[in-house]
Amino acid sequence: MRGVPTNQQVVHESLEKLKKVLETYEARLSGSRYLAGDFLSFADLNHFPFTFYFMATPCASLFDAYPHVKAWWEGLMSRPSIKKISANMPTKF
């Protein structure tokens, strides 16, 4: 993004850290629809912008290994309010 060369070492290290977080989220989401229970909450909304931009990267396929996390994200993105917000968010920098 932003026209700066990508430091692949930083990307690799960050993805390894993210995998550990996604493992925790996968376990949490195996028992509830959203991060803090069965209703959308600030916990989910707080993750929206970061996840939105992550999903615009070549690394987005990482979510395929976490079916509950992927379902959570797809459910979030299917909400009319989220669709409206995301339509105005840039994905190219």
What residues does each domain of the chain span? 8-86
If one compares 27 and 1, the residue with the highest pLDDT of the two is 27
Cβ atoms 46, 90 nearer than 8 A: no
Average pLDDT over residues 65-71: 98
Which are the contacts of 21, defined by CB distance < 8 A and separation ≥ 6? none
pLDDT tens string 18-63 = 999 999 999 999 999 999 999 999 999 999 999 999 999 999 999 9
- Summarised one tens digit per residue, pLDDT across range 83-92 is 999 999 998 7
CA angle at 71 for the pair 25 and 63, rounded to the nearest 5°: 65
List the structure tokens of 58: 């070549």
**Are 17 and 25 spatial neighbours (Cβ–Cβ below 8 Å)?**
no
Farthest-apart Cα atoms in the chain, separation: 41
Question: Among candidates 40, 39, 26, 37, which has minimal Cα distance to 71?
Answer: 26
Residue that is written with structure tokens 């979030």 in the block = 76
The structure's pTM equals 0.89
Q: Name the class of domain 8-86.
A: mainly alpha
At 1 the pLDDT is: 53
Contact indicator for 33, 67 with CB cutoff of 8 Å? no
